[in-house]
Chain A
Amino acid sequence: MASQVRPAPNLAQSPQPRQMPPQPPVAGQQFPPHPPQPGMQVPPPQMQGSPYPPQPGQQPGQQYLPQQYSTQQQGQQYPPQQLGQQYPPQQQGQQYPPQQQGQQYPPQQQGQQSLPQQFSPQAQEQHDQGDHAHHARRRLYPQQMAAAYSAPPPAAVPSAQPGQGGYIVPGATDGITQQMGNMSLGQETYMQPEQTEVLSGRPDLTDLDTAVPEVRLPPGTACVGASACDERVQRVTLGAIPRTDRLLRKTRLPLGLMITPMASEAPEARDIVRCRRCRSYLNPYVTFVDGGRRWLCNLCGLRNDVLLSMDYDKEANMQIDRWQRADLRSAVVEYVAPVEYMVRPPMAPSVVFVVDVSHAAVQSGAAAAASRAARDALQQMGDADGRAQVGVIAVDSSLHFFCIRAGAESQQLVVGDCDETEAWLPAPNDLLVNLRECYAEVDTVLENLPTSGRGGVGCVLGAAIRAAQKMLTTGGRIVTVVASPPTGTAARVDPAATELNSWYKTMAADFARAQIAVDTVFVGSHLGEASVACLARYTGGSVLQYSELVGPETGRAVAEIAHMVSVPVSMESVLRVRASRGLRVSSYYGSFFLRSMDLLALPAAPPAHSFAAEIAIDEPLPPVVFFQSALLHTTAQGERRIRVATLAVPTTDSPHTVFSAIDSRAVATLLAKKAADRVLTARVADAREALMHKTLEIFGAFKTECTKAASGAATQLQSPRSLRMLPLLTLATLRHPALRASSTERPGERTADIAHVLSLPPELLLATLVPRMFSLHDLPPEAGLPDPATGQVVLPPRRGLSAEELSPRGMFLIHGGSDVILWVGRDADRALVHSLLGTTEVRSGIIALPDLSQESGFELNKRVNNIMRQISAMCYQVWAPLIMVCPEDGAPHVRVKLAQRLVEDMDPGAPSYTQLLAQMRDKINRGNF
């Protein structure tokens, strides 16, 4: 379809056609009382008796809008800048005349599409669009969508069109007429050449930093001036969703939604308004009908009565403007929940530290690190209202409880005979104490924690978390630091066993119900991580893993654990995802307990946790579909709040449009999450194969559906522009530690990596999949310094991730979010090295980058520190990465690490990027993959 859109020679003179599709069926004007008549002036009956009689300037049939918007002429429902392309409102009133099924659109009516008068109010009044034209426009819709997607960016639009938005396609006048002609002939069209791309050579990594492709909606879908959903909060893999399941299966693309509820700030909305039937919340995409007395739910289409409280403030006794409501102006809002949303008073933030103090833990430094991290965390926690509660349990072969009283020395109670089935607490109270009252005492207990054990062997983790559960009567978090394999009876984990101990899964289900989240930190490997990590996976907890704690690594572990504990999490939360009729969430990925088909129970929801939902299409979809996620949670301040985010996505019938509007990074994220999930139940090799197969299928489907060489052999791999990064991202996913094929991967690390892939938001996951490589020897002058305009540190340009880029004279920083590698060439400028590290000696190994910003002459150090901080901030401060220094002739283990991060190059487990492209091309040409 897209190829028919050609620039019109007379574009400057001819006004734009009525490009936009009719309002989606959920719009309010579906059933005007009369068939449209020329110059229709009589208000339709549903306006009669309206408490808000139309203003003089208002046109009949238009939606109710408050007075101040009526001065904006006819386009009240739309953002002012889009006025030029709106339907005149009286046409809205006529959009859906009583359906005349089967009516054919006579070709001679096409001319009406581009009637030139539609921008002047006079013209609107005399303008008549017959039933035929309505049908025509309706039918045109998918093609128009296609045209809009494949159009050149709005910059190319001639300036003769004032108020031009991003939707109108230049020359679409001709395009539409031709589309109509072609449609009747049933001609197959292909994507425009500029939409497809031949994949060869090296990928352009700057694509990974470009803005997320905007979801283009028909104008008028949202309320006036409403902001769209932040893509960090909700991101959909396909910018245009196939209308039918058949088309979705044909394109082989994964349809999914990435939800990170707490990723951005949200304005606070007043009272909660919900649909009576589907219980969705009021959002900018609802339509007011019947003169503003009802609102039409955009998810289920039910007409709900508008509550009086939306227009009138009883307490202040004054009229209020409903269009100023935050939930009509912003797609992401937060409500303060009233009592009906609580089953009990909001819980206090409570933490119980369960720390392994066995001989192994003390030896490895885990106990000391945990003690420091816990003290730092309590300091950072900023318990403003003095509600936070803390408890400590030390574990070896027995349980050590601490009875803490303000102003008194705390007492250590040792329980030797412990059992997982029934917890027994040695003291009825004083085990979980108020942090503000007993800060000094808790701090002392934590300080002495590493020496509190008697160097015993074993770690009765099961009994300890049972005891912690009993302490946390109202729920909270359990932070476990484990450095030796759990012992005991039911909770015993044999480190050598491949089978999971299901006791932890059962416990996780119990914890989810009791609103307890478990964060697990492993120090060392072969600790039965796969079993124990279930506690975190099903309770919304986090998993951290450190192979060993030596030198700077202790500092890193302390910083990361302290951040994990002290970051404000949403407690006792539930997340519900609602979607338009015809859509169904088929599976979820992330760290949660699935309580029913569409309800995720999250005892804790850290801001950096994301949830992916895979979506299935059950029945043909309307032109625009909506996803609404609502997170009901308790903040650290003890407020019960509801975070609601609504995303609108257009649908289409054309595979071309689907392929041109893919968000390849979201697709890669979803595929990575699916692959990681598969590793949990199947072999790694199966997961890798499935991922590769899926990528091949997508490109194969594109070739069959959208290119001229549908069945024949192509010399090169063709890709839609939107998908060109997918092969690289797939390659990077295959090399991610969670999916790496090599047998050297330790089981513990794999567990933590899988947990990361499953729970990280797309931006963070991409940062770990495809590292950023910067050359430090030729930094642009502005890089590493704050941008005067935004205050954000400017990142240097990204380099390709290949050994070809590494020049012996240079210095390179490879930042993968959680790990950083500094590569120093053989002939690197020593002065530059000194300026970065404060020394000219370069030895392979892990260092913490010194902060030399106080001293002069270390310009590069300051800038690199700024860059590292900036990337950390972009990654929600989840990681406090260390730098692995890798000289050109460095130690082999360091060079192996470097090779693993250069994702374009060949690796024992994965082909190089060019090899991958060749393999893909051959397999797709052969048609078997």
Chain B
Amino acid sequence: MSSLVVIMLTDLECDYINPIDLANTLNTYVMPEMAAHLVMFVVFLLMGEWFTVVINLPLVAWNINKVVNNRQFYDATEVFRTLSKHKQENFFKVAFYLLCFFYYLYSMIMTLVNESTDDIRSGSAY
């Protein structure tokens, strides 16, 4: 999602799309993205995955802060002024999501491996 944002912002810089289209397209995804992230965060919280909760906490706080101040949407009239900021933010998000993805993958595999070793140890595999 964030990579889409980055691509579109770069397009805007190169004059491939106009700011109104950009704002309309991106604004439809802003809230779903935040909601999805929040849902995941709540699931982690309920599962007691404390380390995951901690690494996700800053982004949740950042999103909530944006929504509270009503700054979450892209403004077609101002987008050029804030272009560099938006780009920076989204590059950061891309990196964060990517790292998280690999961490979750790693955790999942670890869990599976642990489960199977536990199975082996308990002898139920035989």
Most chain A CB within 10 A, of B18, B77, B81, is at: B77
A596, B77: Cβ atoms under 8 Å? no
**Closest chain A residue, CB of each to CB of B83:** A597
A594 cross-chain contacts in B, Cβ below 8 A:
19, 77, 80
B77, A505: Cβ atoms under 8 Å? yes
Is B110's CB within 8 Å of the partner chain A?
Answer: no
- Our pick among A499, A502, A587, A597 for the contact of B75 (Cβ within 8 Å) is A502
B80 cross-chain contacts in A, Cβ below 8 A:
594, 596-597
B15, A599: Cβ atoms under 8 Å? yes
- Our pick among B18, B23, B70, B81 for the contact of A595 (Cβ within 8 Å) is B18
- Contacting chain B: which of A345-353, A507-515, A520-528? A507-515
B20, A597: Cβ atoms under 8 Å? no
Render A488-524 as a binary contact track against B, CB cut-off 8 A, 1 for contact.
0000000000010010011011101100000000000
The A-contacting residues of B in range 1-40, CB under 8 angstroms, are: 12-13, 15, 18-20, 23
- Our pick among B15, B23, B70, B77 for the contact of A597 (Cβ within 8 Å) is B15
Is B100's CB within 8 Å of the partner chain A?
Answer: no
A587, B15: Cβ atoms under 8 Å? no
A505 cross-chain contacts in B, Cβ below 8 A:
75-77
Is A593's CB within 8 Å of the partner chain B?
Answer: yes
**Closest chain B residue, CB of each to CB of A599:** B15
Most chain B CB within 10 A, of A512, A513, A596, is at: A596
A513 cross-chain contacts in B, Cβ below 8 A:
18, 20
Is A538's CB within 8 Å of the partner chain B?
Answer: yes
B13, A597: Cβ atoms under 8 Å? yes
A509, B19: Cβ atoms under 8 Å? yes
Q: Complex formed: what's the CA distance from A508 to B20 in Å?
A: 10
A538, B77: Cβ atoms under 8 Å? yes
B20, A510: Cβ atoms under 8 Å? yes
B18 cross-chain contacts in A, Cβ below 8 A:
513, 595-596
B76, A506: Cβ atoms under 8 Å? yes
Bin the interface of chain A by size: 10 to 19
**Closest chain A residue, CB of each to CB of B76:** A509
Q: Complex formed: what's the CA distance from A770 to B34 in Å?
A: 51
B15, A596: Cβ atoms under 8 Å? yes
**Nearest CB in chain A: distance from B20 CB, A:** 5
Q: Complex formed: what's the CA distance from A502 to B78 in Å?
A: 12
**Nearest CB in chain B: distance from A510 CB, A:** 7
**Nearest CB in chain A: distance from B30 CB, A:** 14
B15 cross-chain contacts in A, Cβ below 8 A:
596-597, 599
**Nearest CB in chain A: distance from B12 CB, A:** 7
Q: Complex formed: what's the CA distance from A506 to B24 in Å?
A: 10
The B-contacting residues of A in range 136-169, CB under 8 angstroms, are: none
B13, A509: Cβ atoms under 8 Å? no
Q: Complex formed: what's the CA distance from A499 to B71 in Å?
A: 12
The B-contacting residues of A in range 259-301, CB under 8 angstroms, are: none
B19, A595: Cβ atoms under 8 Å? yes
Q: Complex formed: what's the CA distance from A538 to B70 in Å?
A: 21
The B-contacting residues of A in range 511-566, CB under 8 angstroms, are: 512-513, 534, 538
**Nearest CB in chain B: distance from A146 CB, A:** 36
**Closest chain B residue, CB of each to CB of A499:** B70
**Nearest CB in chain A: distance from B17 CB, A:** 9
**Nearest CB in chain B: distance from A826 CB, A:** 53
B81 cross-chain contacts in A, Cβ below 8 A:
587
**Nearest CB in chain A: distance from B45 CB, A:** 32
A509, B12: Cβ atoms under 8 Å? no
Q: Complex formed: what's the CA distance from A505 to B19 in Å?
A: 13
**Nearest CB in chain A: distance from B28 CB, A:** 14
**Nearest CB in chain A: distance from B89 CB, A:** 18
**Nearest CB in chain A: distance from B79 CB, A:** 8
The A-contacting residues of B in range 59-112, CB under 8 angstroms, are: 70, 75-77, 80-81
Task: With A509-B19, A509-B23, A587-B81 as known contacts, state yes or no: A596 contacts B76, CB within 8 Å.
Answer: no
Task: With A505-B77, A506-B76, A509-B77 as known contacts, state yes or no: A596 contacts B20, CB within 8 Å.
Answer: no
A597 cross-chain contacts in B, Cβ below 8 A:
13, 15, 80
Q: Complex formed: what's the CA distance from A597 to B11 in Å?
A: 11
Q: Complex formed: what's the CA distance from A673 to B27 in Å?
A: 31
**Nearest CB in chain B: distance from A532 CB, A:** 14
**Closest chain B residue, CB of each to CB of A500:** B70
**Closest chain B residue, CB of each to CB of A510:** B20
A499 cross-chain contacts in B, Cβ below 8 A:
70
Q: Complex formed: what's the CA distance from A508 to B19 in Å?
A: 12
The B-contacting residues of A in range 455-513, CB under 8 angstroms, are: 499, 502, 505-506, 508-510, 512-513
B23 cross-chain contacts in A, Cβ below 8 A:
509
A508 cross-chain contacts in B, Cβ below 8 A:
77
**Closest chain A residue, CB of each to CB of B20:** A509
A538 cross-chain contacts in B, Cβ below 8 A:
77
B20 cross-chain contacts in A, Cβ below 8 A:
509-510, 512-513
**Nearest CB in chain B: distance from A507 CB, A:** 10
**Nearest CB in chain A: distance from B13 CB, A:** 7
A-B contact pairs, 19 of them (CB 8 A): A499-B70, A505-B76, A505-B77, A506-B76, A509-B76, A509-B77, A513-B18, A513-B20, A538-B77, A593-B77, A594-B77, A594-B80, A595-B18, A596-B12, A596-B15, A596-B18, A596-B80, A597-B15, A599-B15
Kindly list 15 other residue pairs between chains A and B, CB separation below 8 angstroms, not including A509-B77, A599-B15: A502-B75, A505-B77, A508-B77, A509-B20, A509-B23, A509-B76, A513-B18, A513-B20, A593-B77, A594-B19, A594-B77, A595-B18, A596-B15, A596-B80, A597-B13
